[in-house]
Amino acid sequence: MDESVSHEPVMVEEVVEFLEPCAGGVFVDGTVGSGGHAKVILERLNPSIYIGIDRDLGALELAAQVLEPFVDKVRLYHSLYSEVEDVLEDVGLEATDVFLLDLGLSSLQLDGSGRGFSFQREEPLDMRMDREQEITAALVVNTYAQGDLERIFREYGEERWAKKIARNIVNTRKKFPINTTTSLAQVVEWSIPKKFHPKKIHPATRVFQALRIEVNRELEELEEGLKVGLRILKPKGRFVVISFHSLEDGLVKKTFREWQGEGWGEIVTQKPVTPSAEEVERNIRSRSGKLRVFQKG
């Protein structure tokens, strides 16, 4: 259920290995973030052009600094990865050899953004990856109907106590708005009986994950991004997805299987690739990462 990764690129050696057949080609990184994977790929696979897309302007600014040595090859766009066709058109291309998606949060977003992705410190309940959008986590928590909150927590967070948490949120917000991470975490924590508190994660982890998915429409974005990604891949092109929770991984797994069944290509990774024990020890946030690869026919 871990919801994030650090700025250290997850499974970067594995990513490079799976993308090696596409060396020298056109690479599209739909979640370029602060440029962790991009830097290593540019150094070792020599793409002809590297197009980086991200909805987070702060991350793009950092990526521009990290990737400055490759400025002649890199094009960065503030956009959703589901809008990659428009980005390619702007660059003057129709197809790509690689489409890479790393669906985790960076440590920049978790630890330094002040946007309330984590309950480890008191911050405004924001959770927007793109600060230009209107909907925030505070808006969801303080205005959504109890039934909608329950559905979000149950579907996106797989939270067994969704009904009680939603009810307590509604009762609390009648007295005062829930506008900070710590206030929401407290409501969630006392909504779940102590003996049912999970041992390895904070009691509010699933609710925070669910809110983040709702605020950023992450599953809808992934579903659309998968469809578009298949369209823009060249023959023998590779689609690489790193996911960090079961809902995302399940969608990717199901989609890749459907594509293979319909004759669009083949699944390169019959089972998801996971980080090595050494990587998890070095970067604990990588532990729930799963990497899947599809090659277009």
Angle (deg, nearest 10), helices 181-191 and 205-216: 130
pLDDT at res. 116: 83
CA 92 to each of CA 5, 73, 86, 122: distance values in angstroms, whole numbers, following the listed order: 33, 14, 10, 45
Helix (H) or strand (E) holding 77: strand 74-78
CATH topology identical between 12-108+218-296 and 114-216: no
Asked whether 90 and 97 are in contact (CB, 8 A), the reply is no
| Domain 114-216 CATH (choose: 1.10.150.170, 1.10.1270.20, 3.20.20.70, 3.60.20.10) | 1.10.150.170
| Domain 12-108+218-296 CATH (choose: 3.40.50.720, 3.40.50.150, 3.40.640.10, 3.40.630.90) | 3.40.50.150
pLDDT at res. 112: 56
Name the stretches of the chain with pLDDT < 70: 1-7, 106-113
Task: Give residue limits of the domains in the chain.
Answer: 12-108+218-296, 114-216
pLDDT at res. 179: 96
Spatial separation of the C-alpha atoms in residues 215 and 68, rounded to whole Å: 32
pLDDT at res. 5: 37
Q: What is the pTM of this model?
A: 0.92
